[in-house]
Amino acid sequence: MGRLALPGFRVCEPCLREGMVGLDDIERIAHALWTDPESLLLKRGSDSGRSSSVPRSMSPADDAVLAVFDWRSIATRRGEPEDFEMVVNHWADRVCADLGQFYPVPPPGRWPSVMVLRRWWHWLCKQDFAGLAVWELTNVATVLRDVAHESRGKARLGRCPEYLDGMRCGYLLMVRPDADHLGCPRCGKGWPRENWRRLASQIEAADDWDRATGSTPTGPPA
């Protein structure tokens, strides 16, 4: 059984919130891909900072970056890459067609499709297709964050232990070692640094409960 949708909506509050955060990240990272693709297309070193001395065949470009520009890339599970422009433009086209809207003239650095989705986000989340739209768009945001290497340098604390409507949030919490605050983009819960030890205990307790009850956290796979 999933979380209860907000009154009048087809999605729960955490999904509504996560989608709005995701749109901001999609526009920001997409702008970087379009204006400075070399910084992401060139192969980076391994996370350990070491490179293999064994000669081997290697693509000169980052396959993950290429995949998000390939129209043949279709995600069937959370975290799988797909053509991010096709997904975002598809849902923006759907909104404009259903509402009789036109694309706005964007200021520099803005993406008209994201502007449409942000403007009509609450309307979209009240439609019968809201579940699929939110899933696809939040997956695009997750994949683009990985492409932009935004998870590098962060430590994994575990899955968010907060419960809403009887369901665990489950979003994978990651934080930089020098951060003073950690916030969950899905449920909105925040923890100052001095509470991280208590948070770790809460995560452990929630994990134990999930194992005991056979529950599955709803966040993306670790």
- The pLDDT tens digits of the residues spanning 48-85 come to 333 333 333 344 445 555 555 554 555 455 555 577 88
Question: Does the structure show a pLDDT above 90 at 134?
Answer: yes
Residue with tokens 């003073």: 180
Which amino acid, one-letter code, is at 146? Answer: D
Mean pLDDT in residue range 93-114: 92
Domain boundaries, the chain: 13-42+61-147, 155-213
pLDDT value, residue 63: 53
Residue 12's pLDDT band (boundaries 50, 70, 90)?
A: confident
Distance in angstroms (rounded) separating the CA atoms of residues 11 and 57:
46
Mean pLDDT in residue range 184-211: 88
Please, what's the b/e burial string for 145-169 (b: 16 or more CB within 10 A of its CB; e: otherwise)? Answer: bbbbeeeeeeeebbbbbbebeebbb
Helices of type H across 52-195: 63-67, 84-99, 112-119, 121-124, 130-147
Beta bridge partners of 192: 181
- Better-predicted residue by pLDDT, 80 or 9: 9
Mean pLDDT in residue range 40-44: 48
Q: Looking at beta carbons, which pairs linking 42-45 to residues 24 or more positions away fall under 8 Å?
A: 44/149
Residue 93's pLDDT band (boundaries 50, 70, 90)?
A: very high
Tokens of 83: 């053509």
Mean pLDDT in residue range 102-131: 92
Question: Does the structure show a pLDDT above 50 at 129?
Answer: yes
pLDDT in tens, 157-186: 888 899 877 788 888 788 877 889 998 877
- Better-predicted residue by pLDDT, 79 or 27: 27
Compute the Cα dihedral for 218, 186, 195, 222 and give only its sign: positive
Beta bridge partners of 163: 168
pLDDT value, residue 112: 94
The answer to whether 24 and 145 have CB atoms below 8 angstroms apart is: no
Which amino acid, one-letter code, is at 25? Answer: D
**Secondary structure E strands in the chain:** 155-159, 163-164, 167-168, 172-175, 181-183, 190-192
Question: Does the structure show a pLDDT above 90 at 30?
Answer: no
Question: Does the structure show a pLDDT above 80 at 89?
Answer: yes
HSE value, Cβ hemisphere, 13 Å, CA-based, for 120 = 24
Q: Which residues are within 8 A (CB) of 123 and not within 5 positions of it... i.e. 6 or more apart?
A: 95, 99
Mean pLDDT in residue range 188-207: 90
